[in-house]
Amino acid sequence: MKLTEILNNGKFTLSFEVFPPKTWDSFKSVKEATEQIAKIKPSFISVTYGAGGGIGDYTVDIAENIEKNYNIPTLAHLTCVSSNKEIIAKKTERIKNAGIENILALRGDLTSEILEKRKNKLNGYDYNHATDLIKELKQKGDFCIGGACYPEVHPESGNSKEDICYLKKKTEAGCEFFITQMFFDNNLLYNFLYKLREAGITVPVVAGIMPITSAKQVERAVKLSGSFMPQRFKNLVDRFGHNDLAMKQAGIAYATDQIIDLYANGIENVHVYSMNKPEVAQSIKNNLSHIIEND
């Protein structure tokens, strides 16, 4: 099923992100974790993809299993920063044959390794930005295509106006919805949405929420996303960070609170970065059970 059918129907959607195994050794355990998450019956599941690209990854295998055996719509992430047209053609063919109708079209991070390879033109790089990939995917098949957006501005962007101008270009190229980078202060999303609508961007924007379940994860999440940590959240980490179980409970409660506030303010689509942790996904769903049921 195409995600635009789900995201545009005026009902609350709760979806989860999972990541594929890096090697075959962990395929079975990752597959099982993603199956547990599928059994929670989310609105859809997205499966990430390494920025290093290549054709030997497991994104499609994990998504195909969820789509075919659990009947949950999936969204396959696809990055282009390390790719050429040939790799993308093979990838999209594989996605199509797996029965997956949705692709999150991304550039991927410009790591020093990738920048070095691109400088030396080791691979024939055909894409500079996600927009280039979106245009290409539009020609390749009947996919529903989404893109990434950043309530706190992408770190490479000069300012929010410039960033939003490129998001508009994504929609003009065929991007039908956005999923946001994680954020820990809902006001950042409300301000961002206002600016998007002002710029004439009307596609659904799915709010990305990361339940922080350990003190270690805080540092990693901030480093990866550059997201602002409100004092209210820092207080939780200071108070409970040394106690794993307490931190997990507090992190899930904080994420639940964010989701309820979003829904109360008219945001109907929420994507949870549950990181292959079925118990975290299940707790969030349980915490929202009456809210979702009464919808």
Ligand X SMILES: Cc1cc2nc3c(=O)[nH]c(=O)nc-3n(C[C@H](O)[C@H](O)[C@H](O)COP(=O)(O)OP(=O)(O)OC[C@H]3O[C@@H](n4cnc5c(N)ncnc54)[C@H](O)[C@@H]3O)c2cc1C
Minimum CB–partner distance for residue 15 and ligand X (Å): 11
Nearest residue (CB) to ligand X, 179 versus 247: 179
Given a contact cutoff of 8 angstroms between Cβ atoms, the answer to whether 29 and 66 are in contact is no
Nearest residue (CB) to ligand X, 106 versus 250: 106
DSSP string, 29-98: HHHHHHHHHHHT--S-EEE---TT--S--SHHHHHHHHHHHH---EEEEEE-TT--HHHHHHHHHHHHHT
Minimum CB–partner distance for residue 251 and ligand X (Å): 19
Residue 17 among the catalytic residues: yes
> Residue type for 111, please?
T
Can you give the binding site for ligand X, defined by CB under 6 A? Answer: 48-51, 77, 79, 106-109, 129-131, 148, 154, 156-157, 163, 166, 169, 179, 181, 208
> Residue type for 45, please?
I
Given a contact cutoff of 8 angstroms between Cβ atoms, the answer to whether 108 and 130 are in contact is no
Q: Among 167, 3, 139, 131, which residue's Cα sits nearest to residue 76?
A: 3
Minimum CB–partner distance for residue 291 and ligand X (Å): 23
Q: Say which residue the tokens 């390494």 belong to.
A: 50
The catalytically annotated residue of 17, 64, 101, 176 is: 17
Given a contact cutoff of 8 angstroms between Cβ atoms, the answer to whether 145 and 80 are in contact is no
Task: Give me 275's structure tokens.
Answer: 């990181």
Minimum CB–partner distance for residue 66 and ligand X (Å): 16
Nearest residue (CB) to ligand X, 135 versus 248: 135
Nearest residue (CB) to ligand X, 5 versus 162: 162
Minimum CB–partner distance for residue 157 and ligand X (Å): 4
Nearest residue (CB) to ligand X, 226 versus 286: 226
Burial class (CB in 10 A: 0-12, 13-18, 19+), 139: exposed
> Residue type for 180, please?
T
Minimum CB–partner distance for residue 19 and ligand X (Å): 8
Cα-atom radius of gyration of the chain, to the nearest Å?
18
Q: Which residues pair with 73 in a beta bridge?
A: none
Given a contact cutoff of 8 angstroms between Cβ atoms, the answer to whether 206 and 271 are in contact is yes
Nearest residue (CB) to ligand X, 163 versus 176: 163
- Point out the residues that are catalytic: 17
